[in-house]
Structure 1
């Protein structure tokens, strides 16, 4: 503990250690809670509540039927990735989890890959992109990110194709079913 270290330094008359220990501030939970970004936390709380409400009312089940039964699980995953570029990928994945579609393990991995990489297509699609735009204000903007979008989209499509190809070749899971 800090008090024990201070006592040992006083016994040894170690002035340098005492100066260092004097500059150490103990952890203050109230100060750290006050520094939290409450607007971001409340935003995500609101989004989670809205998605939960849509699930409770049955709308997510209807969307699940249209996406996964109508289009097929692979195309639905591709679409979820595109949606994740526009809407932050955290609420998109929460919505998919609330839908709870009956898909294979391989398709769950594909949906996760699509939401994660698809969220990077636009800087507003991922929390990291939004945070970087705030931290590097003026240097990293939405428009500067758009220059890289074709390359990111190529990586998005390539990663999904490799996932489907490996799943089919290795026979680890049923990617087309």
Structure 2
């Protein structure tokens, strides 16, 4: 214990003087939120499986060819609140629908903001629930959902108005 204390003190002194301090990779890895990392790994693995089985192409056909790009992108945003915005956007990129740049900006906007509708819809929400257990919960976030939903639809309207030439 004394040796570690002396080592840390030398590193602090060296860092204060501008010296290069060795980075120990094992300390950050030991503090990693493994349940959060496995959650994201599992979701991305599931999206890859859906693509392999052909379900993503069926969903792409339904959403982008039958509903139209605007309604599909708004639906993608709502879906990203339930699943998570990272794998939903990964799925859209895997489907690679033929869209204008305005629609690509819209799907990016809706996936990002829509992911905040529920705490499980964004990487930040999932990570925060893991770090602040009991203080930040699914239900404590749920009380803000109506305000976030108003912002969601206001941001869509603003995007369509400001970038109407891109559609």
Corresponding position: 1:21 with 2:13 = yes
- Any idea what the Cα deviations from partners look like across 1:60-87, whole Å, max 9, x if unmatched? 0110010011111111011011111111
Superposed, which structure 2 residues align to 1:18-167 within 5 Å?
20-21=12-13, 26-167=22-163
Secondary structure in 2 matching 1:27: coil
TM superposition score normalised by structure 2: 0.82
CA distance in 2, matches of 1:146, 1:34: 32
**What is the deviation of 1:148?**
1.0
CA distance in 2, matches of 1:19, 1:114: 45
Report how many aligned residue pairs link the two structures.
Answer: 155
Secondary structure in 1 matching 2:163: helix
- Any idea what the Cα deviations from partners look like across 1:2-37, whole Å, max 9, x if unmatched? xxxxxxxxxxxxxxx969538997421233333333
**What is the deviation of 1:131?**
2.0
Task: Give the 4+ runs in structure 1 shifted more than 4 A.
Answer: 17-20, 22-25
**What is the deviation of 1:147?**
1.3
Structure 1 residues 155, 165: CA separation in 2 closer, same or farther (over 3 Å shift)?
A: same
Larger radius of gyration: 1
CA distance in 2, matches of 1:155, 1:126: 16
RMSD: 2.4
Unaligned segments of structure 1, at least 5 residues: 1-16
Structure 1 residues 21, 97: CA separation in 2 closer, same or farther (over 3 Å shift)?
A: same
Structure 1 residues 26, 162: CA separation in 2 closer, same or farther (over 3 Å shift)?
A: same
Unaligned segments of structure 2, at least 5 residues: 1-8
